[in-house]
Each structure stands twice: as C-alpha cells, then as structure tokens.
Amino acid sequence: MVSQFDFTLNGLKGRELRNMTVGVIGTGRIGAETIKNLTGFGCNILAYDLYENKAVAGQVTYSGLDQVLTESDILILHCPLTKENEKLINSDTLARMKDGTVLINTARGGLMDYEAVLGAIENGKLSAAAFDVYDSETNYIRKKVNPDSFESETLKKLMEKENVIYTAHMSFYTDTAIENMILTTFDNLMEYETKGVCSNEITGI
C-alpha cells in the first residue's frame, strides 16, 4: 500500500467496467440514478424489479432475478426490504453467482445473510464487497464503541478484510440531503397547519 511506501503493482490489477455486466436489483429513484451513472462506462446493465421504470428504458435490459444473479460481474442492491426478499443474498444465491463477483449493498441490511457473505469473501466466491448497512446495527450505529466489546463478530471479521468496504450507514449524509430534510420538515409543518393534512404523512404504522 502507498501509505506504507509500497509502490509495487502486486495484487492491484483491476477490471474495466466496459467489459463487465452490472446487475441492479431495484430500479426505483436511487437505482435509476445508479443506472444513469453506469451508462457512461459502457458496461452491460441487467436489471430486476417487480415494476419496470420507464425512466431507464433503453439503458438496461430487464430480466429475471436468476439471470441477474448468475450473469453479473458486479451486483448492486437498491431494493426495499420486504418479507419476500429478506436475506435475498444467502448461501444459495451466492453459490449461483459468478466466481469473483463484486457485491454492493447500500439499501437495507436485512437483504443479506452476512455470515454467508463472510464465507463467500473467505472462499473467494466474492472478490469484494461494499455495504453501508448491517442487519443488527442498532446497538452501535452513530456511536464510538470499544472494539474489544464489539458484539458482532461477523461484522468485525468483514471489516478486517482488505477487499471489504463498510461505511456506517452514512451514504445519505451530505450537506444537500440534510438541507432538504430540514426544508421538507418545515414544509410538512406548514402544510399541516394550513390544511390539516400532510402529503408526506406516513400511514400504516
């Protein structure tokens, strides 16, 4: 590593996106933005969603979930967590993926079985993984914790891997996003005060 004054190329050979297939599971607003960004690299993009997004028509090939899992060199999760897709990434689906797949999850922690992901990293099935969410992050997220008393042994092992990137549920944390949240909150309060209702009201809780 350069930080250790190692300027050799050992283990640093990369792959070019234009020669790869990227699978995107979930093509809503965030998934669609990811797809738009990927198009500039010339890669083949496969997508799976229960509802096709017209905004990305012509930029992706919609296909079945199994095809996305088995043909993708990079797999990106952008779908909500439901009872039907909980632990979508598990030992069975990992086994069906290409050897050396890169797995990215910035959607929901519950979409992955992290024990299975750790196993796939250790046996080389996954060449790399990056995620911003974890299924049992409540006890430590937004806190500074003692590594000696850290409860999740699986996450600890994943974070120790050089080919794993974990960021602490912070992909939303930008100056623009914070400003939008504040402005939306004031808009909601004003709408509720003037109309007695709020268009952003959350129901069904």
Q: Which residues are catalytic?
A: 108, 137, 169
Q: Report in angstroms the alpha-carbon separations of 56 from 23, 73, 177, 188.
A: 14, 20, 23, 30
Per-residue burial over 179-196, b if 16 or more Cβ lie within 10 Å, else e, is eeeeeeeeeeeeeeeeee
- CA 47 – CA 56 distance, rounded (Å): 10
Q: Which of 69, 88, 76 is nearest to 17 (CA)?
A: 76
| CA angle, residues 157, 160, 165, in degrees to nearest 5 | 105
**Which pair of tokens denotes residue 15?**
């792959």
- CA 57 – CA 71 distance, rounded (Å): 20
Q: Which of 45, 39, 107 is nearest to 72 (CA)?
A: 45
CB 31 within 8 A of CB 24: yes
